Amino acid sequence: MIVNERIRQVRVYRKLTSKELATKAGVSTSEISLIERQMRRPKTETLQRIAAALEVSSSYLLSELNANLPMEAALAKESFQIFLRDTSLTPEETHWLRAVAEKPSAPNTVRGWQDLVANLSIYEPLPKES
């Protein structure tokens, strides 16, 4: 899959219009349109901005990373990596969340990961049996 198809596929999956993606990425709507219609190759900086707006890596858009996974699984892994980059967790929390990331029901947005951690943090750990 080429980058223009991947951008469009993720944009549609994320239920974003071209205009919404353009606004989030800080580029023009016509730029998104030209890229998606394969009339223009995105510059590196533009690709990085689009990737950030879609909560994926540039490598994913270039089909270099997680390209062999179904869309939902790939987006779960991609958003998880962004979440980890921007969040301070204990090694135990990171290990547990990595296991969750492998599940079909794993969150596929950064916000989903944030909500999961926030919801889990309100519960006390289960007491150990004596």
Three-class DSSP labels, 74-120: HHHHHHHHHHHHHCCCCHHHHHHHHHHHCCCCCCCCHHHHHHHHHHH
Q: Is the pLDDT of residue 71 over 60?
A: yes
- For the chain, give the mean pLDDT: 89
pTM of the model: 0.83
Q: Could you tell me the two tokens for 117? A: 């951690």
Is 30 within 8 Å of 21 (Cβ atoms)?
no
Q: Mean pLDDT lowest for which of 28-42, 47-61, 83-97?
A: 83-97
B/e letters for 1-29, b = 16+ CB within 10 Å, e = fewer, are eebbebbbebbeebebebeebbebbebee
pLDDT of residue 128: 47
Q: Is the pLDDT of residue 123 over 80?
A: no
Residue whose C-alpha is closest to residue 36's, from 53, 18, 57, 23? 18
Q: Is the pLDDT of residue 122 over 90?
A: no
